[in-house]
Chains A and B, each alone.
Chain A
Amino acid sequence: QQQVKQSPQSLIVQKGGISIINCAYENTAFDYFPWYQQFPGKGPALLIAIRPDVSEKKEGRFTISFNKSAKQFSLHIMDSQPGDSATYFCAAAHGYALNFGKGTSLLVTP
């Protein structure tokens, strides 16, 4: 069964807007939560990651918010750009195995 649930499946945002993607997990043993970005025809690439001892991590326009008690985490993309159009995957891991969400296809319109 899917260990990480991701929503929405697809998202359309205007240039300059905020893109928000949400993920939820059940396994409290997970202790590493990365987000991967995938462009068409390419493999996923690590975008940003967080550990559960912090509630937020920011890198440039990308921010992860983490709510340990709710077992939820989200990716915020500020000032979204057309070049951000891609598929985004959240994941949760304990040890070596990444458990991926099903992905969110983001389209940023000009």
Chain B
Amino acid sequence: DAGVIQSPRHEVTEMGQEVTLRCKPISGHNSLFWYRQTMMRGLELLIYFNNNVPIDDSGMPEDRFSAKMPNASFSTLKIQPSEPRDSAVYFCASSRTGGIGNTIYFGEGSWLTVV
């Protein structure tokens, strides 16, 4: 079975440019998460969707970040304009439901470098 698929795997962009990260969750999963991983802050939840609806976006750092989930099989995380401090690994993850005990499956991540 295909896991969570993310693209691009690596992105190097210049400060001020728009960055769009893409995610295809596991088929049949109705919960989708975007996490960010940095050495300093570890793994942080950015946003959580349930049935394509954003439920919790309290982790989104600022207005430069936005996320959408137009359908059950696709989500995007956009940064506009990007800044060097946005450099991190961005993980998309999905689960069957968002409830307790349900295994969350992570993609392999999108490695973003903003120069």
Contact = CB atoms under 8 A, between A and B. Distances in A.
Interface of A: 2, 31-32, 36, 41-46, 49, 51, 89, 93-98, 100-103
Contact of A43 (B4, B31, B42, B100): B4
Interface residues of B, number: 23
A51 B101 contact: yes
Contacts, number: 53
A32 B45 contact: no
Interface of B: 4, 31, 33, 42-43, 45, 48, 50, 55-56, 91, 93, 98-101, 103-109
Contacts of B101: 32, 49, 51
Contacts of B98: 95-96
Nearest to A102: B42
Contacts of A98: 43, 45, 104
B106 A96 contact: no
